[in-house]
Amino acid sequence: MSDRTVLDMFRLDGKVAIVTGASSGLGAVFARALAQAGADVVLGARRAERLADTVAAVEALGRRALAVRTDVSVPEDCSALVEAGMAEFGAVDVLVNNAGIGTAVPATRETPEQFRQVIDVNLNGCYWMAQACARVMQPGSSIVNISSVLGLTTAGLPQAAYAASKAGLIGLTRDLAQQWTGRRGIRVNALAPGFFTSEMTDSYAEGYLDSQLPRVLAGRMGDPMELAAALVFLVSDAGGYVTGTTLPVEGGLLTS
């Protein structure tokens, strides 16, 4: 038996993690949490100028950070992000597929361009990133796709494109785990967050969140650090026997 403690199993010392959508919101929270657990972090986002704050937060924790402008809907950008991480740190052990966008357009009025853009970032972009990382990852590596409870239920908004992309991401997670865990030693899982404070929730109409909270058994919004803790579990040795699964972190919303 190992002499490691339970808390030791959550450590990420010596690991290198890529986080997409890391310029703000949950992506920045994830980057800080991974650094707190001991990882160096490669940060990707379309808004490159906004990555400076996340870099500073990671470095303040004593870890190294690298920022790379990345549009995950462009496969070449995804490959370049991974190549930059390899050149700087020599490895990629963790991928957090967090980059995403949302819309709330009634289905009869949503244009093909609007629908395709959401799918291209939220689903296709996760695939291009996973593909690029899997080509360089060693056994013991881990990928976590940030899905949503809206991939499993509805929540009173017209979000066909967003819900379709997040449901597709759950299916992608299962298939990549089936392909890569046994053959390559790469675990692939998904997180399905409920309502957490983020740029997306900031854009909701006034009163919307209050109307949905009665569905949440916990009776409140989630604390982003609660979601980040679940992420660290999945990417660390603590989650070493977990693959191909989607972990809802939603305060009991799915029971309603």
Instruction: State residue 181's pLDDT score.
Output: 98
pTM for this model (two decimals) = 0.94
Residue 1 above 60 pLDDT? no
% pLDDT > 90, the chain:
84
Q: Is the pLDDT of residue 157 over 90?
A: no
Supply the pLDDT for residue 205: 65
- Domain extents in the chain: 7-247
**pLDDT at position 135, please?**
98
pLDDT, position 15: 98
Q: Which of 162, 204, 208, 241 is catalytic?
A: 162
User: Which has the higher per-residue pLDDT, 215 or 94?
Assistant: 94
Measured CA angle at 40 (ends 34, 41), to 5 deg:
70
What six digits make up the tokens of 14? 């010596």
Order the strands of the 187-193 sheet from edge to edge: 65-69, 40-45, 16-20, 94-97, 142-146, 187-193, 246-249
Tens digit of pLDDT for each residue in 203-249? 666 777 777 888 899 999 999 999 999 999 999 999 999 999 999 99
Could you tell me if 228 and 29 are in contact, meaning their C-beta atoms sit under 8 angstroms apart? yes
pLDDT at 103: 86
pLDDT per residue as tens digits for the range 103-130 = 889 999 999 999 999 999 999 999 999 9
State yes or no: pLDDT of 45 exceeds 90.
yes
Q: Which is higher by pLDDT, 246 or 49?
A: 246
| pLDDT over 70 percentage in the chain | 96
Indicate the CATH number of 7-247 among 3.10.129.10, 3.40.50.720, 3.30.70.20, 1.20.1260.10.
3.40.50.720
pLDDT above 90 (res 202): no
Answer yes or no: 204 catalytic: no
